[in-house]
Amino acid sequence: MQLDEKIRGVVRDVMDYPKPGILFKDITPVLAAPALIDEIVQSLAARYQSQKLDAVVAVEARGFIFGSILAHALKTRLVLVRKAGKLPYKTRRQSYALEYGHAEIEIHDDALEPGWRVLVHDDVLATGGTAVAAAELCKSFGCEIVEFNFLIGLSFLPGKEKIQSRFGINPYCVVDY
């Protein structure tokens, strides 16, 4: 069975979360499957092994899970992007639109260096607002965005197009819905 089929077999749909009309793709069942986690990380690590990444930039909160495991597998830095007000040190902030509202994210002011090659990672690509905001933060340091990757892509929403038009990069999703 293909990796995307295995993931589809365990991802849970939750209707009307976090608000009415939203069909939420819940990855927590994936996290209860250690062999599947290992297969996902091996697949992603193989994709980026030769890319000479300086950091995996992982977006709060579920993006931290695979982002941290992937950074470890690639033997590179993990950089956290969090909701505004959650990081303890000096930060840079970026606002953005969600598929169901607005938000702001932050990154530590000393998290990245000019010229670093970074991978932006999150669990789900929906409208692309969070990923674009995270990449804008990386660009504010002078970093090169190597790729955006996601466990799940919602192809019926404009996230891929938003990333492609803004950065000229085709985001990679392990599984598309």
> How many whole angstroms separate alpha carbon 5 and alpha carbon 100?
28
Active site residue 166: no
Active site residue 147: no
Whether 19 contacts 100, CB under 8 Å: yes
Write the CA distances from 128 to 30, 69, 116, integer angstroms: 22, 22, 22
The pair of three-digit structure tokens given for residue 3, joined into one six-digit string: 């990796």
The tokens 């579920």 sit on which residue? 62
**Active-site entry in 39, 47, 99, 117:** 99
Rg (CA), the chain: 15
Active site residues: 62, 99
